[in-house]
Amino acid sequence: MSKQPIFPRSTVLVLGPNSVQSLVPSTLISQAESLLESHRLDDAYNLADQRRKKLEESLTVDEDEAEELRYVYQRIGFQCFTETLFEDAGKHLFNGEVDPRLLISYYPDLRGALFSADETMDVFAGVVEHMPMEGSVDDIIRNYSPHLAPSTLSAPPTAELRKILGTAAKEMLLGFLKKSRTRRSVARGKDTGSTGDSIDIAIDTVLVKLYAEFEKTKELYAHLATPHDVYLPEVEPVLQKSGQYNALCILYKQRGDDLKQLDVWSKLIEGQWTDDDIKDPLSQMINLLAEKRDRALTQQWGLWLTKLDPESGLKLLMPKDNGKRRERPEEDIALLEQIQDANPAAAAQYLEYLVLQRRSTSRELHMKLALSYVDQVLAYLEEATISKLWRAKASSYASSRNESSFLSYFASTTPDSGHKRARLKTILLLAGSSYYDPQVIRNRLSDQEKILKLELAIIEGKIGNHRAALHILVDDLSDSTSAETYCTLGGEIIPPKTAQSIAVDVGLQDLATTLFGLPPGKSMNGKGPAIPIALARSKSVNEGLKKELLKILLEVYMSVRLPDRASHLLNAQAMNLDVLDVISAVPESWPVNMMTSFLSRSFRRTLHTQQEGKIVKNISAGQNLEVKDRTWDILREEGAIIEEAVDDDDDETDDEGGPQSFDEKVLGEKVAMHVTAHSALAHGTVLDGGTDARLGPASTDSDVEIFR
């Protein structure tokens, strides 16, 4: 069946002498135009609605008739729009399927930079002729407002009227765009996602602006939760102005713009902005940075956060991962200086983290930490009560007979406090680290050297002034236990076990573990895997150094007149002390019975060494005789080897013209003897020094007898 034409058809023709006339029915467009010109808007509405219902009832839709209807609806819609009948205008413009961008263009504050000057759209020519000529809806409202004195702009009634009409115009636009978006979404199908189409961008962007302006927060969140084409630069200032910061964060997250998202959270944390829909922005910031694992980004915001919340800032800057990280002392020091500028207290914690948890071996970092600890102790000593307490502890220890060290006595008898922890941290660091300059620390301690005797002794030991260190321990502190430990450990005052025990009591496990380590297979709490060895510990004690230190300690004991301690040292370390050195150093006034045990043990050890040497010599002689007996027959069978000098001139030359300087037979006998010697060795006969599997070591003299 052929399609009927859109133009009017006539069934009545009137034939005249000079013309043919036709009686045709009026079209929908002509009827609507006539009604609109007569300002009969209601009749025009009804006419268009009747035609629409007729089209909807038909099985097939005539596209030409549908286009006619769209034209009529658009004409009616813009006529209502001109007369500020915004609700009716929105309904008819939607039915007329007008391009949403055309309506948005009358709202400059919502349009923004969505449209360019070169952008065009298709519009019916008849509609363009009757569209409002004003540039904005505000101008339309202003021109339509009644004139009141003194002027339309300043008269209160007209100002209120303009406000009401302006709100109605935007509400109409909001409803129009929502329905247009739904219609386009249905036409595309579900789960289409964003399209990037300019119409969709305009609809979604303006909807966000209107939701924000009317404070329709739930509708805004629902809109952003679905696939959309919001143009972010257009809505950013609107959302910020309206306080919709959560919606802004949603958009940033969808775009993957972490920097702007962090910036919003930072303003919320600082209190510049508030949004009840954003719960705990600090935790969200920390979680995002931890998830991204961007070192530069984490340091940037960690430094910023350190100024406001040092604990949270350091949480970002001090990750607790167990993975190995290449040591970057330059970067660590640069970051430390930045933290120092932001928050000195936080910088001290970060410095401890680098040395004690990251186990940095940077000398500069260790030096900074040592100076920091020493400065804390010196600051505490400026308080008279603390200075007096520490003096009293030293005096009490010196006046009592303690088998424990001064450090153990101080740690066990001093009440738990900040100054106690500060001093113990300083002592453990100075004793356990080998990466700082002891001379600088020595100069820093000089003002309080009368109180900080133990620290001074540790520093003297690090410098290598062993006599000075032992003098301080014995004469100033009366700490013979530490002095003897100093000699045993080769210059170390604090044994690892003592350091670990004290650290557990005062909560300094990290410090002790890093600097002193733990015994193999042990852990700080008795559970879990073994802790790594210490960051920097001395190698096995050199026996020569140990003997030298014991000799110095003996001289110190004698110089300060401590015969009991000297006698105890002689008895305990007799094997490490030379009897001649001891006898020459002992004062003449000493009674012999004080050295009886040392001398008797030394003489017994000397006699034992002599007798052991005789036994070894006789065993070796017996082994030599046995070897001679075993090899006698073998050497006899081999015969003598005779080599005589041969004159080269009389020698016959070989085929190649070279002189023969030795007898080939003699060479063969030598080879045979070498093979026989190996055979004898395989049967347990010692032919070349070494050790017989059954007889033990053979002396060098036997080798000479065999090959003579």
Higher pLDDT among residues 539 and 180, named by residue: 180
pLDDT bin (cut points 50, 70, 90) of residue 197 is confident
Using the 8-state DSSP alphabet, how is residue 7 labeled? S
pLDDT, position 267: 94
The pLDDT tens digits of the residues spanning 215-226 come to: 999 999 999 999
pLDDT, position 369: 95
Q: Is the confidence at residue 583, as pLDDT, over 90? A: no
The pLDDT tens digits of the residues spanning 60-82 come to: 777 888 888 888 888 888 989 98
Burial class (CB in 10 A: 0-12, 13-18, 19+), 344: exposed
Burial class (CB in 10 A: 0-12, 13-18, 19+), 297: middle
Cβ atoms 242, 213 nearer than 8 A: yes
pLDDT, position 173: 95
Q: How far are the Cα atoms of 407, 453, 454 from residue 396, in angstroms, in the given order?
A: 13, 14, 15
pTM listed for this prediction: 0.68
Under 8 Å CB-to-CB from 70, ≥6 apart: which residues? 95, 96, 97
Domain ranges of the chain: 28-190, 329-520+541-546, 547-620
Per-residue HEC secondary structure of 114-142 comes to CCCCCCCCCCCHHHHHHCCCCCCHHHHHH
pLDDT, position 400: 84
